[in-house]
Amino acid sequence: MSLLELDNITKSFGAIHALSKVSLTIQPGEAVGLMGDNGAGKSTLMKIIAGNFMPSSGEIRIENKPVAFHKPIDARNAGIEIVYQDLALCDNLTAGANVFLGRELKRKFGPISMLDYPAMYKRAGELFAELKSETRPRDLVRQMSGGQRQAVAIARTRLSDPKLVLMDEPTAAISVRQVAEVLALIKRLKETGHAVVLVSHRMPDVFDVCDRVAVLRRGTKVADKPIKETSPEEVTGLIIGAIEAA
């Protein structure tokens, strides 16, 4: 049973066809690299899976059940967590607070419930430790480096036990050492049965962690093949159009 199936997804903005008849299936525990040049439709496809946009036509199925995501929260409830490219963090809150934003842990005293700081900081610390990130849960996000912010954004998705994690350019703005850490995390997500969709410009990252690569060009899918059967040269050719389809 596939985890996520996109069936002939089309999205138009007025006269512009951002996506035409894109189909993609993702199996549990599979990491799929989504590649393509700027404007190829990667972000639009991501936003449809994440519930930011409704497709103009086509169907989304999760574990064979058709779903309609009207809001991002619908996608999250269906087990899809997203790491946004702009990271969507509150600068004025601590790293721990950001991890738990909207899902705060509380302690109850009769009718009154209050934020459980020790539990949240402890859990956030554990999550950062899993990521091997030197991010301190009590520090404000405002003071953090790109890599630390990335760790916060990724730690957020680990709170629930998502079926699918969408990552939009997670390695674009971080140090070389932390790229390795993020890739290690993606591998760990795979090992625990989580599927990952990785949107990335960085060919080495995709070839390092993904099982399969899908290439979009001008709103259509031009290739979808196991990583073992392709090469960076072929994918580059597909992205820029030197190779028509594969």
Residues of this chain that interact with another protein (CB under 8 A) are 72-73, 76, 82, 84, 88-94, 97, 101-104, 106, 113-115, 121-122, 124-126, 128-129, 132, 134-140, 143, 156
Q: Considering the complex, what minimum distance in angstroms separates the CB of residue 129 from another protein?
A: 4
CB of 226 to another protein, least distance (A): 32
**Burial class of residue 36 in the structure, from the number of CB atoms within 10 Å of its CB (0-12 exposed, 13-18 middle, 19+ buried):** buried
CB-nearer residue toward another protein: 68 or 88: 88
CB of 93 to another protein, least distance (A): 6
Name the minimum Å distance from CB 87 to another protein.
8
Give the Å distances, CA to CA, from 13 to 39, 41, 56, 75: 13, 12, 9, 22
Our CB check for another protein shows the closer of 121 and 212 to be 121
Cβ proximity to another protein, 132 vs 188, nearer residue:
132
Give the nearer residue to another protein in terms of CB position, either 151 or 227: 151
Q: How far is the CB of 66 from another protein (least distance, A)?
A: 23
Residue 243 CB-density burial (10 A; 0-12 exposed, 13-18 middle, 19+ buried): middle
Nearest distance in Å: CB 163, another protein: 17
- Cβ-based nearer residue to another protein, 31 or 152: 152
**Distance from the Cα of residue 244 to its chain's centroid:** 28
Name which of 138 and 245 has its Cβ closer to another protein: 138
